[in-house]
Structure 1
Amino acid sequence: MTSYTPAQCCVVGVKHEGEAKGEFKQIGDVDTYFSYPAHRSTKHAILILTDVIGHRFINSQLIADQFAANGYFVVMPDLFHGDPVKLNRPADFDLMAWLTGPPGHLPARVDPVVDSVLKEMRTNLNCEKIGAVGYCFGAKYVVRFLRPMGNKIDVGYVAHPSFVEADELSSISGPLSITAAETDSIFPAAKRYESEEILRKTTQPYQINLFSGVEHGFAVRADITKPVIRFAKEQAFLQAVHWFKQYL
């Protein structure tokens, strides 16, 4: 495993203030947040796969709107069948029980959601190129679906990934960018080095940026009242924007 399973650090953080500009629609039975660019084109799209707090979290919606403001059509589905984790759960919250179930939130339940949303994007939504963004939990599924030859994802970006298996990472067939936190028990230095070695062997374009002074989850749930942390969060977002500009 190139990153460890989700832990308590995956469910804590700061709720941000702002007004979401997108709208909720259904893709089959999947509740989904849509955010459109000013030109309303859906040709260049981004699929956001969230952390365990889910797609109804205002922080995630504001990020989706930021990508839309940069010219992308954004789709952000509910990965958890209406059962996300609430922010800042007590320390005794059993995240592994939530993850493994029953009913659980493992690939057998999550893969079909991602697959169905991608099929809708490729067909009825007329998306010609799809980049994917994965935060923490969602990073695993960006890696699993980074298969452009199979009409999946063309380009990937992940921040503080969790739960990614070595064989999943070694099987990617498209460019992948990774944002990492200096303090992260789920994606520590040893796992970053392991991931770098695996990515080098894939021969795909890759990037790993490390930000000091921040912890796991900073790209979504950081305390942005602190200048160093706010800078890291904003730069992590720009890392994704520039990656997509280059490869999408």
Structure 2
Amino acid sequence: MTSHQLGTCCYKGAKHEGTATGQLLDWQGIEAYVKHPEDGSTEHAILLLTDIIGHRSINSQLIADQFAANGYFIVMPDLFFGDSVPLNKVGELDIPKWFAGGYNAKGTNHGPSTVDPIVELCLSTMRTEYKCQKIGAAGYCFGAKYVLRHLRSDGKAIDVGHAAHPSHVERDDLQDITGPFSIAAAETDPVFPPENRHETEDILKSIGVPYQINLYGGVTHGFAVRGDLKDRVQLYAKENAFLQAVQWFDEHLKNQK
């Protein structure tokens, strides 16, 4: 495994201030946060796959809006059928139970059998109804796994991937990718510690895809989406991790023929 399972650090952090400007739309029974760039184009798109706080988190919505401000059509689906975990949840949370659907009224789990079809639905809708020509994906914590699982150069999946502080990634998820992949990693991260980061680097070298791994000092797991913006170290790391993602997508989505 190239990153460990979810932990309490996956839903702890700071709530950010701001007003989201996208729309919540129904995509064939899946709610999605959608935001167009200023020119209304959909040629270059990013599928944003969230941490377990989900698509209604203001933190993730503000990130989506920032990507749109940089010229990308953004789709951020609900990966959890309304069963996301509240930021800084009070009281005990049994994460394996949550993952298996134990808190969901319908018992819906939060593994690949549930999440993969959501990602596939979004990608199909983006390409057919919205005429997206090239699609990147940005995954934060939980969402990073599904960037990798769909990073395939087959004209139907994700063309370019970026992940910040990934969780629950299996070796096969990473070894099977066929497109460019970028990672923003935290110096202190029990979910993606140094030994897993080095293993990831070795795998990326062996498969030969374009890759980038940036390590941000002085921050912990979740910094790229839930960092405390009043802390200058965390603010700097968060802003630079976002810039890393934008530059990666600009190079591999917009500048590649």
Q: TM-score range by the shorter chain?
A: over 0.9
Report the counterpart of residue 48 of structure 2 in structure 1: 48
Consecutive unaligned residues in structure 1, runs of 5 or more? none
2:240 corresponding residue in structure 1: 235
Moved over 3 A (4+): none
| Separation in structure 1 between the aligned mates of residue 120 and residue 38 of structure 2, nearest angstrom | 27
In structure 2, the residue corresponding to 1:133 is in which secondary structure? strand
Residue 104 of structure 2 is matched in structure 1 by none
**1:119 aligns to 2:124 (yes or no):** yes
Aligned AA (2:73): F
Work out the percentage of aligned pairs sharing the same amino acid. Answer: 57
The residue that corresponds to 1:68 in the other structure is 68
- 5+ unaligned residues in a row in structure 2: which ranges? 102-106
Alpha-carbon displacement from aligned partner over 1:122-169 (angstroms, at most 9, x marks no partner): 100110000000000000000000012151000000000001110110
- 3-state SS of the aligned residue for 2:123? helix
User: Matches of 1:8 and 1:168 in 2, distance apart?
Assistant: 23
Q: CA deviation at 1:93?
A: 1.2
TM-fit CA distance, 1:90: 3.2
State how far apart, in whole Å, the 1-side matches of 2:227 and 2:190 are.
Answer: 16
Letter in 1 for 2:169: V
The counterpart of 2:224, out of the listed 189, 207, 219, is 219
**Is the CA contact (8 Å cut-off) linking 1:48 and 1:77 kept in structure 2?**
yes
Instruction: Output aligned runs, 1:1-248, within 5 Å.
Output: 1-90=1-90, 92-101=92-101, 102-248=107-253
Deviations along 1:165-209, whole A, 9 cap, x unmatched? 101101000000000000100000000000000000111000000
Structure 1 counterpart of 2:173, one-letter code: E
Whole-Å Cα distance in 2 between the matches of residues 246 and 150 of structure 1?
Answer: 18
TM-score, normalised to structure 1, is: 0.98
RMSD: 0.8
Q: Following TM superposition, by how much is the alpha carbon of 1:91 offset from its aligned partner in structure 2, in angstroms? A: 5.7
Question: TM-score normalized by structure 2?
Answer: 0.95
Other structure's SS at 1:149 match: coil
Separation in structure 2 between the aligned mates of residue 100 and residue 25 of structure 1, nearest angstrom: 27
